[in-house]
């Protein structure tokens, strides 16, 4: 028997009420709803100073049944039930860039502001600071490489977002990610001069993919660029707004080549610090202060 959308929404609302009520009955001050269990460590770190004296519970999304539902789409069904005791914690994806309404702290939503939480582990200044404690054989500067990567992908990023806004599907986020994912970065010769070989390979992949896509009008692309400028997304930091897995995995591949397979646990994960200061993290901290008293 098919389930109508209104029945599904009512079911989701009941779940939200049940969790919220159960949280209170169990003596918790706040329930945080997260997309996946993997997200909990990030949100625990960013929330640490505000929840230190509170009893809290993190509930990750768990998919049941054969129908594929992403954690975020499931959690956002609970938006009307969100309150100071039931807070939704999600990745921003492109929602802010594309102007999603009611997607803010006033509606008890904490978001990453970068595409996803993985991007925060790739903030170039913190990453380089941690990396310098381990760097031995091949000099490599992430404060040079990651802004350079941003510059390489920026134009394609703007075109991809323009096409997404216009529902044109001949150059998608998956295509742009593929242009990066195809470059393995596991050859040391590609890492000389702060990864110039990797950047060149990514640039060539992007040019090839764009050559097969239809051109958008200059006016439409400029409209997208204007929107990016308004949000502070530039040629030097747009890598923070790319799909998090893609950037995180690229950095990890580079690190494993520079160091060894322990790079992820010794450098990449520990590099994230809530004490860092950059716009995207500052916005999260501001939202946390506004929601949690």
For residue 67, the model assigns a pLDDT of 63
Kindly state whether residues 152 and 94 are assigned to the same domain. no
The answer to whether residue 7 scores a pLDDT higher than 70 is no
Question: What does 86-100 look like in DSSP terms, one character per residue?
Answer: EEEEE--TTTTTTT-
Confidence class for position 81, pLDDT limits 50, 70, 90: confident
* pLDDT tens per residue across span 67-78: 666 789 888 988
Q: Which of 64, 76, 72 is nearest to 36 (CA)?
A: 72
Same domain, 140 and 258: yes
Are 32 and 89 within 8 A, CB to CB? yes
* Cβ contact 130:267 at 8 Å: yes
> How are beta strands 56-60 and 30-34 bridged, if at all?
parallel
Domain with 67, as residue range(s), is 5-116+284-291
Task: Domain count for the chain, please give it.
Answer: 2
**pLDDT value of residue 1:** 35
Do 177 and 240 belong together in one domain? yes
The model carries a pTM of 0.90
Mean pLDDT (the chain) is: 90
Please state the rounded mean pLDDT for residues 29-34: 93
23 has pLDDT over 80: no
Six-digit token pair at 195?
Answer: 């990864």
Residue 275 exposed, middle or buried by CB count within 10 Å (0-12, 13-18, 19+): exposed
> Which pLDDT score, from 0 to 100, does residue 146 have?
98
pLDDT band at 189 (very low <50, low <70, confident <90, very high): confident
Residue 10 has pLDDT above 60, yes or no: no
Can you tell me whether residue 277 is helix, strand or coil? coil
């Amino acid at each position: 028997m098919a389930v109508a959308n209104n029945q599904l929404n009512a079911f989701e609302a009941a779940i939200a009420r049940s969790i919220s009520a159960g949280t209170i009955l169990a003596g918790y001050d706040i329930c945080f709803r997260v997309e996946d269990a993997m997200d909990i460590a990030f949100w625990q770190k960013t929330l640490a100073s505000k929840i230190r004296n509170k009893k809290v519970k993190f509930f990750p999304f768990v998919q049941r049944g054969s129908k594929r539902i992403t954690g975020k789409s499931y959690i956002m069904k609970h938006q009307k039930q969100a309150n100071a005791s039931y807070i939704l914690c999600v990745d921003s994806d492109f929602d802010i860039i594309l102007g999603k309404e009611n997607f803010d702290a006033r509606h008890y939503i904490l978001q990453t502001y970068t595409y996803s939480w993985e991007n925060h582990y790739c903030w170039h200044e913190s990453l380089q600071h941690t990396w310098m404690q381990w760097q031995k054989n091949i000099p490599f500067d992430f404060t040079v490489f990651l802004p350079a990567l941003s510059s390489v992908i920026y134009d394609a990023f703007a075109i991809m977002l323009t096409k997404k806004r216009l529902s044109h599907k001949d150059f998608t986020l998956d295509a742009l990610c593929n242009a990066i994912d195809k470059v393995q970065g596991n050859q040391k010769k590609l890492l000389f001069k702060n990864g110039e070989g990797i950047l060149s390979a990514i640039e060539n992949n992007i040019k090839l993919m764009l050559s097969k896509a239809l051109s958008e009008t200059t006016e439409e692309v400029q409209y997208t660029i204007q929107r990016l400028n308004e949000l502070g997304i530039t040629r030097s930091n747009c890598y923070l707004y790319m799909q998090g897995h893609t950037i995180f995995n690229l950095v990890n591949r580079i690190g494993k080549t520079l160091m060894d397979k322990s790079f992820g646990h010794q450098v990449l994960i520990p590099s994230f610090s809530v004490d860092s200061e950059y716009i995207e993290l500052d916005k999260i901290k501001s939202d946390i202060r506004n929601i949690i008293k």
